Amino acid sequence: MSNEPQDTIASDESVDTIETVELATSETSAPAETGEPATGLRPANANRGAGWPASFSNYISQGWAERADAHPPQRAQAPYAAARRRRLSEAYPGKRIVVPAGELKVRSNDTDYPFRADSAFSWLTGWASDSEPGAVLVMDPSGDGHVSTLFFRPAAGRDTDEFYADPAIGEFWIGARPTLGEVSTDLDLATGDLKDFVSTEDDLVSDDAELAQTLSEMRLVKDEYEIEQMRLAVEATSRGFDDVVAQLDRAQRERRGERVVEGVFHARARLDGYAVGYETIAASGSHACILHWTRNDGAVLAGDLILIDAGVELDSLYTADITRTVPVDGKFTDAQREVYEAVLEAADAALAIVKPGIRFSEIHDAAMAVIARKISEWGLVDADAETLLDSEDQRHRRYMVHGTSHHLGIDVHDCAKARRELYREGVLEEGMVFTIEPGLYFQPDDLTVPERYRGIGARLEDDIVVTATGAINLSAGIPRTVADIEAWLAR
């Protein structure tokens, strides 16, 4: 997914809810009395409540089997999260650090977006797609380090009205929630009831600019758990691309065929992961010239290219970010091939130089050297490549305004708050993961472009991990060359 001039965060998908009746207070442990205020119901819907008779409240609180307090095995990420907390502790001795997971966000009236925990919270706790809204990680200074406690709202007893009357957290509405003991065992982390958490004016909260920067910079180099998650995310995304290619005929039969592509990929993301890592771009024809086209309401027509930029976010919240541009009817035209192979050449040139010790910005420079040469050779700008690449010129950027790479991980645009000298001008290290994604975009009404190229947009995006001696293209198995793409579609 293209990353310049600025990072964007796509909205989460929406969900339906069934209508609630009146909610009694969920703070008490006793059944609600008749006529008790509907404190759990959002104000916009307070007038539709029916009330709970005391007889009902008494009846529903009884007759339930005892539940065993489960103690799941410790999850694989727990020791890695503990090591990350130790690094953060060393950076802020004596400071109380508070990292909230975030709250549910309203989509419309009393419907919420699906909850997705804050990335820094998940990175430090290991609690990912199953995180509880409102949870808070607190790192209290102790001796030379910190003692960490995860506060959240634990499952309520069935003798409380929360159990049946609160659609935000009640078990009748959203299913069973974890106990303090279960989460403590799962994450190897002390837990506490959220009602016992008290903030102080001296807390260093994760939205503090300096702390956010530190957390971004700590994520620049991935540990072995993270690299394995990235590999698995790419594998799931590869299956999603196979699903899309198999449904291109169907997409051509629908008026809004781009949404067939979007929907097919989304189904794979939900089957093999938690969600999509960002809003899928399914850009057919000239829509491919719009960098972040997510409306996806266009037709998918034979003779056009379709640019698909998509990634599966796993339950661990690590996401892939891959783009392929393919001919809808299985064959590139001469003009489409010429544009696509220029992009492929730029991607390969960038990948070829990746190794520890080079600057991140050099990847972009290597790709742009190819783009500038092609723009000059095709006569779009009356200048040679050397002139175009001069920092005072850059006219070739008209046809590729975004950057070639961005870091990737638990965020699709990971580490975005790191300092420029550690990000764009930073030196590559083993364990860094990022994209390489050059493109060419010839707008249909751009009179500087020969007519044969107008309306063609192409991007190729792969996910790269830096090794001790070079790099591995995690997504190399998804067809990249013209011949392999045409064979892929033919299958």
Sequential pLDDT tens for the chain (491 residues): 765 443 333 333 333 333 333 333 333 333 333 333 334 456 556 677 677 888 998 899 889 988 877 788 999 999 999 999 999 999 999 999 999 999 999 999 888 999 999 999 999 999 999 999 999 999 999 999 999 999 999 988 888 888 888 888 888 888 888 999 999 999 999 999 999 999 999 999 999 999 999 999 999 999 999 999 999 999 999 999 999 999 999 999 999 999 999 999 999 999 999 999 999 999 999 999 999 999 999 999 999 999 999 999 999 999 999 999 999 999 999 999 999 999 999 999 999 999 999 999 999 999 999 999 999 999 999 999 999 999 999 999 999 999 999 999 999 999 999 999 999 999 999 999 999 999 999 999 999 999 999 999 999 999 999 999 999 999 999 999 999 999 999 98
Residue 2 lies in a domain: no
**Residues 272 and 170 reside in one and the same domain:** no
Are the CB atoms for 354 and 428 separated by under 8 Å?
A: yes
Domain stops at, among 218, 233, 265: 218
Instruction: Report pTM.
Output: 0.90
Q: How far apart are alpha carbons 46 and 181 in whole angstroms?
A: 35
3-state per-residue secondary structure call for 174-201: HCCCCCHHHHHHHHCCEEEEHHHCCCCC
**Residues 421 and 294 reside in one and the same domain:** yes
The pLDDT of residue 166: 85
Domain stops at, among 179, 196, 218: 218
Domain stops at, among 187, 218, 249: 218
Residue 3 lies in a domain: no
**Residues 151 and 257 reside in one and the same domain:** no
Amino acid found at 454: R
Alpha-carbon distance values, 31 to 9, 27, 55, 167, 174 (Å): 42, 11, 9, 16, 20
Residue 74: which CATH number?
Answer: 3.40.350.10
Q: How far apart are alpha carbons 150 and 137 in whole angstroms?
A: 5
Q: How far apart are alpha carbons 4 and 413 in whole angstroms?
A: 10
The tally of domains found in the chain comes to 2
**Residues 51 and 181 reside in one and the same domain:** yes
**Residues 54 and 93 reside in one and the same domain:** yes
Q: Which domain holds residue 346?
A: 220-490
**Residues 154 and 288 reside in one and the same domain:** no
Residue 434 lies in a domain: yes
Q: Which region holds residue 202: left if phi is over 0, alpha if psi is between -120 and 50, else beta?
A: alpha
Alpha-carbon distance values, 152 to 28, 120, 202, 248, 487 (Å): 17, 16, 21, 45, 52
3-state secondary structure of 214: helix
Q: List phi, psi (to 5°) of 456.
A: -95, 125
Q: How many other C-beta atoms can be found within 10 angstroms of the C-beta atom of residue 257?
A: 25
| Tokens coding 226 | 């993270």
The pLDDT of residue 172: 86
**Residues 292 and 268 reside in one and the same domain:** yes
**Residues 330 and 472 reside in one and the same domain:** yes
Q: List phi, psi (to 5°) of 465.
A: -120, 135
Alpha-carbon distance values, 169 to 94, 172, 173, 184, 368 (Å): 35, 9, 7, 20, 51
Kind of pairing, strands 97-100 and 204-205?
A: parallel
Distance spanning both ends of the chain, measured CA to CA: 27
**Residues 317 and 431 reside in one and the same domain:** yes
**Residues 356 and 209 reside in one and the same domain:** no
Are the CB atoms for 278 and 311 separated by under 8 Å?
A: yes
The pLDDT of residue 10: 35
Q: How far apart are alpha carbons 32 and 26 in whole angstroms?
A: 9
Distance of CA 300 to the CA centre of its chain: 26
Distance of CA 41 to the CA centre of its chain: 31
**Residues 32 and 147 reside in one and the same domain:** yes
Residue 6 lies in a domain: no
**Residues 352 and 237 reside in one and the same domain:** yes
Sheet of 97-100: strand order equals 190-193, 145-152, 136-142, 97-100, 204-205
Kind of pairing, strands 136-142 and 145-152?
A: antiparallel
3-state secondary structure of 71: coil
Distance of CA 224 to the CA centre of its chain: 19
Are the CB atoms for 275 and 13 separated by under 8 Å?
A: yes
